[in-house]
Amino acid sequence: MKNMKKIAYLLICLILFACSSNPNSTLNHSPEEVKNNIIVDKDYGKGNKDIVVFSTNDTLSAFNDNLGFAGIKYYIDHFDKRENFTTFVDVGNFSAGTEIAEKSKGKSSIEIMNMMGYDIIVPGSYEFSYGIDTFYENMKALKATVVCCNIYDIKKGEIPFTPYVIYQYGNLKVAFVGVTSPEALLLSETHDYFYDENNEQLIYLFEDEDGEVLYKQVQSAVDAAKSEGADKVILLAHLGIEGIIEKWSSTRVIANTKDIDAVIDGHSMEVLDNGLMINKVGKFIPLVQAGSKCKYVGAINISKENYINQAVLKERSVNTKDERIQKEIDKVLEKYSK
C-alpha cells in the first residue's frame, strides 16, 4: 500500500511538472489570464520620483519587540511621500511564533497586520502552521494583496493567489512576483498539514529533486509580468540563503532565472543590506533581508535615474512609536490572551 501511494505521488508530480513546462498550462498564468493585475494607485500621482519599497520579514508575531510595529508604522507613515513613491510589503512568517498567535491560530496576527497598511504580502512557511483550511481563512482575511506563484492546490486544480501584481509609479511599471519556499513541506511544524487522512498531498509548492520546476515557475511569472508591460521586476521571496535547502535558496533561484531586477528576501532570518547575487545571464541582482522579530526594516530604492539600491533601517531611523497603533496592537493582544 505504501509503495502504491509513493507511485501515485510520483505520478502527480510528473503530471504537474509536465503542466509547468506546457505554455498552455494554467500553472503558467499567461498574460491573458492576469490582465487585471495592473494596479494604479492614484495617490502616487505623476512625475519622476524615487520608488521606495519598505519590507518586513519573519516578524514571528513579535509585534512589540525591537522597533515594534508601532515604530515601523510611524516611520513609514511619516516618510516623505510627496517626494517619493512608497510601497509596503511583507515576505512571510508573520502569523506564528508567540503563545497568543498559536492560541488564536494566527487570527491575532492577521488583525495586527491589517492595521499596518501593507500593500502586498507573500505567505511564509509558518503561515501553514494551523492547517490548510485555516491558512486560506487567514489569507482571505488580509487586506493586502496576497501574491505567490508557486502555491498550487492539488484538489482544486488551481493556483489560489495571483502570481504577481504590477504597480505603476508615474511612467514606470514595477511587477512584484511572490514565491514561497517548498521547505514548508519538510518542517515539523507544518509537514503533516500538507496531507489528508489518506496521506494524499493537498498543496504542491513546485518541489522536485533539483529545484528546476521551481525555477521554471518563477521564470514563467516573471515572463508574464514582462509581457504585460513591467519595466522592472522585484521578487518577493520567502526563500532565504543560509541554513536552508540550497536548491530552494534565493541564490539558486536567481542563478537560474533572468529579468528579475531586485529581491526582497525572508525565511532564513538574516540581516542583508548589501547582498548581490548573479543571475542566469551574469547580471548582479541586489537583495535585502531584514532579520527577524521587527529588528529592522528593509528598503529597496529605485531612483529617478533608474539605479536600484538596498538598505536596512535600524534604530537610528525608526525611533518613534505611533501611539494610536500601539494602543490598538495592545488591545488585540489582550483580547486574544484571555
- Distance set, CA 17 to CA 122, 125, 163, 207, 225 (Å): 23, 22, 17, 9, 21
For 6, the grid coordinates are 509513493
Give the start-end residues of each E strand in the chain: 38-39, 50-56, 84-90, 120-121, 145-146, 152-153, 164-169, 172-180, 203-204, 232-238, 262-265, 271-278, 284-290, 297-302, 308-313
Query: CB neighbours (10 Å) of residue 173?
Result: 20
pLDDT at position 274: 85
Q: What are phi and psi of 278, to 5 degrees?
A: -105, 130
Read off the pLDDT of residues 118-151 as tens digits, 9 standing for 90 and up.
Answer: 999 999 999 999 999 999 999 999 999 999 999 9
Read off the pLDDT of residues 137-190 as tens digits, 9 standing for 90 and up.
Answer: 999 999 999 999 999 999 999 999 999 999 999 889 999 999 999 999 999 899
pTM for the model stands at 0.87
Q: Is 212 exposed, middle or buried (0-12, 13-18, 19+ CB in 10 A)?
A: middle
pLDDT under 70: residue ranges of the chain? 1-48
SS3 (DSSP) at 201: strand
Cα–Cα dist 174/259, whole Å:
12
